[in-house]
Amino acid sequence: MAQTKTILRALAGETLPTPPIWMMRQAGRYLPEYRATRAEAGDFLSLCYNSDLAAEVTLQPIRRYGFDAAILFADILLLPQALGADLWFVTGEGPRLSTTTTPEGLRALKPADAIHEHLAPVYETVRILSRELPSETTLIGFAGAPWTVATYMIAGQGTPDQGPAHALKAADRATFQGIIDLLTESTILYLSEQIKAGAEVVKIFDSWAGSLEGQDFIDFAVKPAARITKALKDIHPDVPVIAFPRGAGERYAGLHAAIGADCIALDDGVTPEWAAAHVQTGGCVQGNLASSHMVTGGETLVQETRRVVDAFSKGPHIFNLGHGITPDANPENVQLMIDTIRNGK
């Protein structure tokens, strides 16, 4: 049957007259209805593990804006928690984890195939969504990339420069590589299970890929993503993969082939004109309006939205922000962005 969902058409390489749209963190604190449901759940992690409420917040931005895709509501740090790490969120600060930095610590984690019981509520959220989403809306599953998840497991929190992970990589390569390998294998199983539950596309978030230099970028950003993509395609050959090595800069060129991904997601550290010439030549791209425009709005938002649409108009493109929408964004600016893309406003 010919594919009718616009995101799947773009991912198959089709150039569409109007790009399909979704936003990273589209279910989030900028929406009053999200804040209300989160309060009902109690806290962020309780929301992630409550399948009905997680499905509800996933659907909220679809109802409000009619995005072309819904992204499963969960977090990249649920996977290390399933492997046995402690995880909690400090309000106003972000995630905290028990650290894994030694051979004993690595051995104390569970094997990759032991994650499913802990993650069962996430798979249930996917099943609810695949029943309840409008027929034209694509359901995207996701996981963090091994390097990005490892940076949190090693430091026990977010870090500006991923210093502790770089230090372990230099000091105890075997333990570092062991963490990457465990995350790579468990991510394959996690994403495969999301696909079995109904995810139609999967995205690999490598938020901190940009801090990997030289051969490290190949070994710890490109290779794990390529291994995950290949393993998924062996089991689910028709399910597209989006890779998001944020901060890759000029190294975005050639990544479709190097990773084997159907789509490369771009942050706003590269211009759309450069990316059209050097990345979109390899296949579908996603991105890359700076999320700050969702805060500031106005004529600049309209012009920069048009600029992204125009730059990528000659090839397959999924419109998105360059990073997640922030809590201080104005919901009206999101509507203005969508109207600009869909109605040429």
Residues marked active site are found at 25, 29, 38, 75, 152
Chosen residue from 5, 9, 38, 256 binding ligand CP3 by CB under 6 A: 38
Q: Which is nearer to ligand CP3, 297 or 324 (CB)?
A: 324
Q: Are 46 and 116 in contact (CB under 8 A)?
A: no
Q: How many residues bind ligand CP3 (CB under 6 A)?
A: 22
Is the Cα torsion angle 142, 41, 22, 135 positive or negative in sign?
A: positive
Query: Taking CB under 6 A as the rule, does residue 28 contact ligand CP3?
Result: yes
Closest CA to 77 of 52, 105, 100, 102: 100
Does 22 help bind ligand CP3 (rule: CB under 6 A)? no
Give the β-pairing of 87-90 and 94-97. antiparallel
**CB closer to ligand CP3 out of 130 and 313:** 130
What does the alpha-carbon distance between residue 327 and residue 70 come to, in Å, rounded to a whole number? 19
Q: Output the CA–CA distances (angstroms, integers) from residue 277 to 274, 284, 314, in the order listed.
A: 5, 12, 10
Nearer to ligand CP3, 186 or 311 (CB): 186
Report d(CA 63, CA 78) in Å as an integer.
Answer: 26
| Interactions with ligand CP3, residue window 205-224 (CB under 6 A) | 205, 207
Q: Is 142 in the site for ligand CP3 (CB under 6 A)?
A: yes
Residues 151-190 that bind ligand CP3 (CB under 6 A): 158
Least distance to ligand CP3 from the beta carbon of 139, Å? 12
Q: Quick one: which of 84, 297, 324, 331 contacts ligand CP3 (CB under 6 A)?
A: 324
Site for ligand CP3 in 63-122 (CB under 6 A): 71, 73-77, 94-95
Nearest approach in angstroms of CB 205 to ligand CP3 is 4
Q: What Cα–Cα distance (Å) separates residue 323 from each residue in 22, 37, 246, 286?
A: 12, 23, 8, 11
One of 8, 21, 24, 82 touching ligand CP3 (CB under 6 A):
24
Contact 280, 317 (CB under 8 A): yes
Give the list of residues 6+ apart from residue 117 with CB closer than 8 angstroms, or none.
none
**Interface with ligand CP3 (CB under 6 A):** 24-29, 38, 44, 71, 73-77, 94-95, 142, 144, 158, 205, 207, 324
